[in-house]
Structures are given as C-alpha cells and as structure tokens.
Structure 1
Amino acid sequence: MFSLTASMNYYLYAYPTDMRRSFYTLSGMVTNQMGKNIQDGDVFIFINRACTSMKILHMEFGGLVIYHMKLESGNFSLPILDENTNTFQITWQDLMTIVQGISTNKKPNKKRWKKPL
C-alpha cells in the first residue's frame, strides 16, 4: 500500500491545476483531458500555476490515493513540455528530481525548506 515504483508509468499534466480538486475531478481530468484510464494503474501528476504544490493521483488496490506535496519555499522545476500535447510522460527518476529540486542543467538546485538543527 502507498507505493510508487520505477516500473510504473508516470504522466505529468502540462497545464496548471487547481489544487482544490480532489479524487473525482482529478480522475475526470485523467479521462477527459489526458485521454487515459485511471484504472490502468498509471500515476498522474498535477502541479499548480506557481509550481509550489503537486498532487499525484494513483489507483492502488482497493481505491484511489492522492499524494499532496506543498513546498514551504522554492518551486518545482519542470521539464520542457511539448506544446502540442497536454500529457507528458516522465520517468520515476524525473519525478524524484522534480520533488527534490535537483536541477539537470548547470543552474543551482532549487531552494527547499530544511528542518532547523
């Protein structure tokens, strides 16, 4: 339960998403706008306009799961998206670099909140 692995397919929605959306509206977006089936077991990633909040929707055994990450500081660095599609397939490693704020180009890594000592 609550597991995402490198063997899964990851799809990033290319447009900003209202983070007030929940299970039914996000799964509707997967079906209607991304052209995918939520029950296939794929992982769907949504990010807000400011790139400070991320929701990940995934069908686990028994039901839907939403992982929600809101950054205390900084923002997510997204890959360059194709303008002709609203769905962008990424890998597990791509997702981890987005979440951890690691920059793949020569710019410094994105700012992240750290627990004070």
Structure 2
Amino acid sequence: MFSLHADYQYFLYQGICDMRKSFDGLCGLVLGELGREPTDGSVYVFLNRRRTHLKLLHWEAGGFVLYYKRLEKGCFSLPNKARISWLELSLMVEGNKIL
C-alpha cells in the first residue's frame, strides 16, 4: 500500500544510483553521501542514469519500505534541487513535468 503523503520530507539523491542496490546499499548512500539518517522518517528518492527507474526508500514503524517504478517509455523529469515537495514527487511519478 502506497502510504506516503505530504507530511513527509522528500530528498532527491543528486547522483546516479545503481538500481541493483536494495535497502542496505541505499541506506549507505543516505548516510554517506546525503549525511542523513535513513530511519528519520524522510523519503529518499533515487534515479538511474537514464532516469527510467525510480526507487523510494522510507522508514516506517517496524522497517524499511522500498517503492520501485520503471517507465516503459520516456524518463522522469527532475527538479533542480535536493529537497522536493510531495507535489513534485507526485508529478515525477505520474510522468508530468515539474512545476
């Protein structure tokens, strides 16, 4: 169940992510490169080089949740900042242009 909402903070990883990474690898990027704690309740957004795959890492009560979307055609449009809003994430996931 997709349980993300506007009350969370959303952080876009500015580098290129290897989509083979799972929970531990993505947590390592959050800790090492973003300097944040992956269990702080924020949502971390990762994209591959071609921006055709997106992963969201989120800590919920009891453990991590990983959301993964692969586009059949086109690519995700990106905001030009590290912290994004719920609206910007929603537009990205739906394939719309960022405001």
TM-score by length of 1: 0.80
Cα-to-partner distance string for 1:20-52 (whole Å, 9 max, x where unaligned) = 000001001101100000111000000000000
1:103 is aligned with what amino acid? K
Match of 2:89 in 1: 95
Runs of 4+ in 1 over 6 A off after TM superposition: none
TM-score by length of 2: 0.94
Q: For residues 48 and 42 of structure 2, what CA distance do their matches in structure 1 show?
A: 20
Cα-to-partner distance string for 1:48-105 (whole Å, 9 max, x where unaligned) = 0000000000001110110000001111011124xxxxxx000000001111121246
Unpaired runs of 5+ in structure 2? Answer: none
Q: How many residues align?
A: 99
Fraction of identical pairs, as percent: 44
Unpaired runs of 5+ in structure 1? Answer: 82-87, 106-117
